[in-house]
Amino acid sequence: MLDIRHIVKQYSNHRALDDVSLHVPKGSIFGLLGPNGAGKTSLIRIINQITGPDSGEIYFDGELLHPKHIERIGYLPEERGLYKKMKIGEQMLYLAQLKGLSKRDAKQRIQRWFEKLQIESWWDKKVEDLSKGMQQKVQFVATVVHEPDLIILDEPFSGFDPVNAQLIQEEILELNKKGATIIYSTHRMESVEELCDNIALINKSKKVLDGPVRKIKRSYQNQMYVIEFKEQDGIIPSFIGTSLFEVVEEKTTTDSREVTIRVQEDNSLNDILLYLISQVKIRQVKEVIPSMHDIFIDQVSGSTNNKYIHHA
Amino acid sequence: MHKILLIINREYFSRVKKKSFLLVTFLVPMLFIGMYVAIFFLTKQSYEDTHAIVHVVDEEGSIADQLKNNKNITYSFSNTDLQEQIKNLKNGAKNTNLLIIPADFYTARKIELLSSGKPNIGTQNEVRSQLREIIRNEQYRKMGLNADRIRNINDNIQIAAKEVTETGDAKDSHTEVAMGIAMGLCFLIYLSLVLFGTQVMRGVIEEKSNRIVEVVISSVKPFQLMMGKIIGIGLVGITQFVLWIILSLTLMTIFSTALFNDKEVAQQAMGRNMRELPGEQSTTANADFDWMAALDSVDFTELTICFFVFFFGGYLLYSALFAAVGSAVDNETEAGQFTMPITMPLLIPYVLSFGVLINDPHGSIATWLSMIPFTSPVAMLVRIPFGVPTWQIVLSAALLIGGFILTTWFAARIYRVGILMYGKKASLKELIKWFNYKR
């Protein structure tokens, strides 16, 4: 859907984007991740043609990005709002017409959305009479009313209560199912694993990581397991001295113990289990899969002491 | 192009439909007409108030016969006891006076004027001038001069001030009228440029602080949004002026037909305005001043067209700057430091207009100011009632258009960056940096 090639954006005293290249597959939900100030919003503004890159180019559906593509993009900015004194219905009509819809089409579609979200009665209300959550619903409708092929959501859930967040999330998934490509920009990792199939991580103006979520996570899992066991006959097993694995963490609960281990090279989980089975009563074995959160923290902080991620 | 029309449409109708717009549109002409009517009625009232009854006690003996009744004053003579008369005065009607002329009037030149309320200045003046006349006559008589012949000496002169037009014709020039109109226009355009410019700035700040601006500019170019807003609000201004003109003309016609039926009051009002001019004889001299001819000498069509051209041109020029200021700040209080310098060039000809420009409308200062795009809207309109060659008007208008293109280009470069800068205090240095951003 979107091919971003070697984008550079330079402001007078800092470089917002430094040679960023990305591929957003058609029909995907693409997570654009990064800490505040990493350059996400700069990139999004370039995709929306609000600003232009200093160098590099973007291909939209195979064509070089052009002003005509604006009508095929829906954008919900992080800094968003509505005209306070204008009636909701009029405001929606105005925004939809700016996206190229005819007045009649716009009216029909807005009404359909309002019915769907059960907010028909808001048509003649003014924005100042709505709560913040209500305003966000309206803004969401304004973003998608022209049925864009590419929907860009910058922190869409900030300010939503859990019920409405769930509602909007379902709508996003439904739009995606109908064929829309979605770019979801956030620094909240919990929702990323739930929603995204592909991600890119931007830090300090540079892309540091991208690809399908599963693949990225797999590349980060490195033979780590949590083993829960109970001591046999009161003998505390010794894990020291074995070359099979390395203990990362040890925890004792009231009736059992839990160790996190990393299997050393050339060994397998089977070897370890064989070793342990004679000493303890194994209750549970789990493979440690790093969460996106861990990967994010690891990449952003650049620290090597993250216990779940092994730097070879 | 279609999108900019949508923006103009929204900016225009969201303002025109407001109650405050209707209120201002109807109230302002009403206010002016109201003032006009009030002046007439106050004049009428004061005429009635100044009519005084003066009881005269003439101890000298020869004075009372020489006092003359007129429309402001009625004298009455009685020989009743002085104390009795003073007592009567207290119970007497409004503006009743007692004039006591002592026996040594010609030498001492002191009289007493007792009155029921506060002594009226008008009555005092009237009495004084009549008594001076009497003294003068007495002195002429003593010197053996014929008072009537002296009075008949006519030293009036009339200046027929004409200006030579381009076609070589001489036409009557009515400098006073031109001055009045020039001042009015100058005030009107200065006020409306600042007023509508500020509206543009407020609109931009509103969009920025509402955070809707990024939503909108993901659909249209920042330049389109800025121009749409400027043109939309400009049309609101033009609508307002057109409505004002129509309403004022209608109301004027209605009221003046009603008022001018009362001929006496109308003449009285006119006459009274003229008194301010110096010279004792001026009242009669100025009564000849032909107001109708003076007003006829002004080309109102030219004036109206020029007003709209220079208003809209000046508006476009300044509102672009106001838009840039609005984009650079987060709220109106911050805007103050920037609006000052940009309204300066407007303030200069406004202040100068009361002196330099009006006294010397074709001098080099006035001519230059009426050519420079930033000052020309005000300066040119001050000059136009005095008659400006067409080529100068056209040149000035062309320069104004050029100036507006320049400021718009300049403002747009700041605007596109400014609207996306939240919570950043803009300094001049910052603005220059924004200006230099590539896109």
What band does B282 get if pLDDT is binned at 50, 70 and 90? very low
Closest-CA distance, B331 to chain A, in angstroms, reads 16
Between chains, do B219 and A95 touch, taking CB under 8 Å as contact? yes
Q: Collect all residues with Cβ–Cβ distance below 8 Å to B76 and sequence separation of at least 6.
A: B53, B54, B55, B56
| Token couple for B344 | 């300066």
In this structure, is the dihedral angle defined by the CA atoms of residues A155, A156, A161 and A162, taken in order, positive or negative? negative
At B293-305, the pLDDT tens digits run 666 667 778 888 9
Q: Is the ipTM of this complex over 0.90?
A: no
What band does A305 get if pLDDT is binned at 50, 70 and 90? low
Task: Confirm or reject contact between A79 and chain B (CB < 8 A).
Answer: yes
Q: Under a CB-based contact definition with an 8 Å cutoff, are residues A74 and A144 in contact?
A: yes
| Token couple for B150 | 């002296």
At B41-91, the pLDDT tens digits run 887 776 666 678 888 888 887 888 888 888 778 888 877 777 777 777 777
Q: At the top level of CATH, which class does the domain A222-288 belong to?
A: alpha beta
Q: Under a CB-based contact definition with an 8 Å cutoff, are residues A280 and A237 in contact?
A: yes
Closest CA to A311 of A292, A298, A300, A296: A298
A176-199 average pLDDT score:
89
Q: Under a CB-based contact definition with an 8 Å cutoff, are residues A33 and A189 in contact?
A: yes
What band does B283 get if pLDDT is binned at 50, 70 and 90? very low
Other beta carbons within 10 angstroms of residue B74's beta carbon come to 12
Which pLDDT value is given to residue B6? 94
Q: Which of B204, B219, B413 to mutate to test the interface with A (most CBs of A within 10 A)?
A: B219
Which pLDDT value is given to residue B341? 87
Between chains, do A80 and B212 touch, taking CB under 8 Å as contact? yes
Please tell me which residue of chain A has the smallest CA distance to B220: A98
pLDDT of B386 above 90: no
Please tell me which residue of chain A has the smallest CA distance to B435: A12
Closest CA to B320 of B240, B416, B180, B217: B416
Q: Which of A51, A76, A151 to mutate to test the interface with B (most CBs of B within 10 A)?
A: A51
At B182-221, the pLDDT tens digits run 888 888 889 899 999 999 999 999 999 888 999 999 999 9
Which of A153-167, B108-122, B188-202, B362-376 shows the lowest mean pLDDT across its residues? Answer: B108-122
The percentage of residues in chain A with a pLDDT greater than 90, rounded to a whole number, is: 42
In this structure, what DSSP letter does residue A85 have? T
Q: Alpha-carbon distance B99 to B78, whole Å? A: 11
Which pLDDT value is given to residue A153? 94
Q: Where are the alpha helices (DSSP H) in B261-389?
A: 263-274, 282-287, 291-296, 300-328, 332-352, 358-359, 364-369, 376-383
Please state at what angle helix B2-16 crosses helix A88-98, rounded to 10 degrees: 160
pLDDT of B134 above 60: yes
Q: Under a CB-based contact definition with an 8 Å cutoff, are residues A231 and A251 in contact?
A: no
Q: Alpha-carbon distance A119 to A110, whole Å? A: 10
- DSSP3 helix / strand / coil % (chain B, rounded to 5): 70, 5, 25
Between chains, do B219 and A142 touch, taking CB under 8 Å as contact? no
Q: Alpha-carbon distance B175 to B182, whole Å? A: 10
pLDDT of A293 above 80: yes
A155 backbone φψ class: left, alpha, beta (φ>0; ψ -120 to 50): left
* Higher local confidence (pLDDT), B90 or A120: A120
Distances (CA, A) of B435 to B101, B206, B430, B439: 83, 22, 9, 10
What band does B288 get if pLDDT is binned at 50, 70 and 90? very low
Distances (CA, A) of B356 to A2, A222, B255, B366, B369: 65, 87, 36, 8, 11
Cα A249 from chain centre: 29
Task: Confirm or reject contact between A140 and chain B (CB < 8 A).
Answer: no
Closest CA to B408 of B416, B419, B396: B416
What band does B384 get if pLDDT is binned at 50, 70 and 90? confident
Q: What is the DSSP track for A49-73?
A: TSS--SEEEEEETTEE--GGGGGGE
Between chains, do B218 and A77 touch, taking CB under 8 Å as contact? yes
Q: Under a CB-based contact definition with an 8 Å cutoff, are residues A292 and A192 in contact?
A: yes
Task: Confirm or reject contact between B331 and chain A (CB < 8 A).
Answer: no
At A223-258, the pLDDT tens digits run 888 888 887 766 666 666 677 888 888 888 777 888
Q: Alpha-carbon distance A44 to A24, whole Å? A: 13
Please tell me which residue of chain B has the smallest CA distance to A55: B438
Q: Alpha-carbon distance B90 to B88, whole Å? A: 5
Which pLDDT value is given to residue A200? 93
Which pLDDT value is given to residue B285? 40
Closest-CA distance, A30 to chain B, in angstroms, reads 20
B248-256 average pLDDT score:
78
**Please, what is the Cα angle at A225 between A219 and A228, to 5 degrees?**
160
Q: What is the DSSP track for B171-182?
A: EE--HHHHHHHH
Closest CA to A228 of A275, A280, A264: A280
Closest CA to B183 of B334, B426, B384, B320: B384
Q: Alpha-carbon distance B398 to B411, whole Å? A: 20
Which of A90-94, A212-216, A292-296, B225-229 shows the lowest mean pLDDT across its residues? Answer: A292-296
Segment of A297-301, A308-312, B89-93, B201-205 carrying the highest mean pLDDT: B201-205
Instruction: Name the β-bridge partners of A151.
Output: A74, A182
Closest-CA distance, B243 to chain A, in angstroms, reads 25
Closest partner residue to A12 among B212, B218, B433, by Cβ?
B433
Q: Domain segments of chain A: what residues?
A: 2-217, 222-288
Beta pairing class for A245-252 and A257-263: antiparallel
Overall fold of domain A2-217: Rossmann fold (3.40.50)
**Please, what is the Cα angle at A38 between B216 and A182, to 5 degrees?**
50
Closest partner residue to B219 among A12, A70, A139, by Cβ?
A70
Please tell me which residue of chain B has the smallest CA distance to A48: B218
- Collect all residues of chain B within an 8 Å Cβ-Cβ radius of residue A51: 439
Which pLDDT value is given to residue B25? 85
Instruction: Name the β-bridge partners of B419.
Output: none
Fold matches, A2-217 and A222-288: no
pLDDT of B289 above 60: no
At A140-171, the pLDDT tens digits run 999 999 999 999 999 888 878 888 888 889 99
Between chains, do B214 and A98 touch, taking CB under 8 Å as contact? no
Please tell me which residue of chain B has the smallest CA distance to A71: B219
Q: Under a CB-based contact definition with an 8 Å cutoff, are residues A115 and A123 in contact?
A: no
pLDDT of B268 above 60: no
Cβ contacts below 8 Å, chain A against chain B, sum to: 63
| Token couple for A190 | 């919990």
In this structure, is the dihedral angle defined by the CA atoms of residues B266, B267, B270 and B275, taken in order, positive or negative? negative
The secondary structure element, H or E, covering residue A202 is strand A198-203
* Higher local confidence (pLDDT), B119 or B1: B119
Task: Confirm or reject contact between A80 and chain B (CB < 8 A).
Answer: yes
A190-218 average pLDDT score:
89
Which pLDDT value is given to residue B122? 77
Which pLDDT value is given to residue B311? 93
Q: Alpha-carbon distance A32 to A196, whole Å? A: 9
Task: Confirm or reject contact between B205 and chain A (CB < 8 A).
Answer: no
Task: Confirm or reject contact between A83 and chain B (CB < 8 A).
Answer: yes
